[in-house]
Amino acid sequence: MSEDILQRLAALEPVEHVLVLSIYLDMRPQESGERPGQRASLTILKDRLREIEKTLGPRGDAFDSFHTDAARIEAYLEAEFAPETYGLALFASSGQDLFEVVEAGVPFETHIAAGTVPDLFQLAQLLDNQESAVVALVDTSTLRLFVTRYGHLDEVEGTNDPNTKMYRKRSMGGWKQMHYQRNIDNNRADFARQAAVDIEKLVNEIGAAQLVIAGDEVAIPFLKDALSTEMQELLHDDIVRLHIRTPRDDVQSKIAPLLAELESNEAHAIADRLLEAVRADGLGVAGLKHTRRALEYGQADVLLLAPETAVDLEDRNELIRMATQTSADIEIVEDHTEFLEMGGVGALLRYRW
């Protein structure tokens, strides 16, 4: 899991004369131009590796380690890279016995760097923005379940009993019509209860942070009523109308904007909490100096960072390392004017001295 990778990377201590390669690539193929289908980031990667090599001299431990890492990265891209991946992060250092890969369904901003410790910001941003979610696509007799992981949407096995009937309304009169409709409703409710059990089981298995329901207007109310209180608290407010046979890629295109909006709203709400805490001299600090101090003493509960912050890359990376090592959450806050005016860095605290 990428969370485990972040923890391992944050725990790495610098070793003299040993470099760590941190590589983030936008792996989307070009749609037009002279070479449609070409991944431009791979050309950038080759050029950057040549530039880094020139800084290492013709021999030595750092030079040898770099060549080992470059060869392993090339082999991975040729033989193991999944073509459907939009974003690829690689961290390599043979001197640290390190080779970690994260394949994402969303692109990274292409960035290749060599340093004494890994560059963690885009990985932390991925984990914050792409929390796992369960998507339930349902009609009155069929359930399809999907899981989002780091921008990918994967379908998993759900309730799909081939013996389940498709209940259709017929023209009947009087008491018979009422009785028939009652049987239909009872069967729909029974199916919804079983679907709710399957959904909750999957949510708990993967530790999903969000639940989205999609489907038809008849089935959704039955399912919502059958969900437990815990599941309803995770449920996204918007209901997506989709046919039960909607292809996976179309499901993803409909769901992704909802999850992105939800993450943005949550990040802004946390930034608002920080602003209130700072103004009240409460459980919040802003600015690089105070945030670093809070992390050093284990006070920080949530580290907040803006991608546009003026904090330099080295300091930003060190804040992420300290947050990960002290089990503080990391929240990337985009497009929040007041937070940026505070410097784009801060922390909600567990306690004050």
pLDDT tens for each residue of 304-337:
999 988 899 899 999 999 999 999 999 999 999 9
Residues 73 and 21 occupy one common structural domain: yes
Q: How confident is the model at residue 348 (pLDDT cuts 50, 70, 90)?
A: very high
Residues 115 and 42 occupy one common structural domain: yes
Residues 138 and 67 occupy one common structural domain: no
For residue 47, what are its two tokens? 């050029």
CATH classification of the domain holding 333: 3.30.1330.30
The least confident of 58-72, 92-106, 287-301 is: 58-72
Residues 150 and 102 occupy one common structural domain: no
Quick one: DSSP state of residue 94?
G
For residue 4, what are its two tokens? 């485990």
Whether 124 maps to a domain, the answer reads: no
Whether 255 maps to a domain, the answer reads: no
Domain around 206: 133-246
Residues 236 and 270 occupy one common structural domain: no
d(CA 125, CA 145): 26
pLDDT in tens, 93-122: 999 999 999 999 899 999 999 999 999 999
Give the sign of the dihedral formed by CA 185, CA 186, CA 187, CA 192.
positive
Residues 137 and 222 occupy one common structural domain: yes
Residues 111 and 172 occupy one common structural domain: no
Residues 138 and 112 occupy one common structural domain: no
- For strands 329-332 and 300-305, give the pairing: parallel
Q: Do 235 and 229 contact (CB within 8 A), yes or no?
A: no
d(CA 152, CA 6): 19
Whether 258 maps to a domain, the answer reads: no
Whether 256 maps to a domain, the answer reads: no
CATH classification of the domain holding 35: 3.30.960.10
Whether 89 maps to a domain, the answer reads: yes
Residues 208 and 155 occupy one common structural domain: yes
The least confident of 30-44, 157-171, 215-229, 290-304 is: 157-171
Domain boundary among 73, 95, 119: 119
Residue 212: strand, helix, or coil = strand
pTM: 0.81
CATH classification of the domain holding 225: 3.30.420.60
Domain boundary among 246, 279, 306: 246
Residues 39 and 112 occupy one common structural domain: yes
**CA nearest neighbour of 133 among 29, 257, 39:** 257
pLDDT over threshold 60, residue 90: yes
Residues 64 and 150 occupy one common structural domain: no
Residue 109: strand, helix, or coil = coil
Domain boundary among 119, 152, 171: 119
So what's the pLDDT on residue 193? 92
Whether 126 maps to a domain, the answer reads: no
Whether 214 maps to a domain, the answer reads: yes
What total number of domains does the chain contain? Answer: 3
Residues 150 and 201 occupy one common structural domain: yes
Whether 25 maps to a domain, the answer reads: yes
Q: Which residue has the higher pLDDT, 132 or 201?
A: 201
